[in-house]
Amino acid sequence: MLEYHETIECIEVALDAKSPYTAGLSKSVSDMIEILCRLLGLNRMMHIASHLHDIGKIGIDDAILNKEGKLDEQEWEMMKTHPQIGANILDKSHLLAPFSKIVLHHHERYGLNGKETPLGLRIIALCDSIDTMT
């Protein structure tokens, strides 16, 4: 899967071209995750998945994706569909399908529904939150 890293980065750049507001977010998150994976001795699969975590935003209306200011309730509900859109996109490729579950659940929080959230999802959620706050 690592040999597809460049292709995955191309997909990430395509998403960045659609939304100047969120441009660079996936790269920033993936850079943090790459460092964490190295420090924790984890494989690079999580790093590659992080490039794709917001790919579903390509299916979100530009007016919502690029809106300055707070989203209204209806817009927020639409934005919350991006993980499912992303998972649906990745499921179409046997090479990218292994990342679809990570993309689908990347906004879940630790202990959701009484189940422990897998480490990889916690890492993406943490790095995504740090990037958003900074």
> Any idea which residues carry the catalytic annotation?
57
Cα 17 to Cα 81: distance, rounded to the nearest angstrom: 20
Per the structure block, which two tokens stand in for 117? 């959230």
Place of tokens 């007016």: 63
> Could you give the count of Cα atoms lying within 13 Å of 111 in the half-sphere of its Cβ?
0
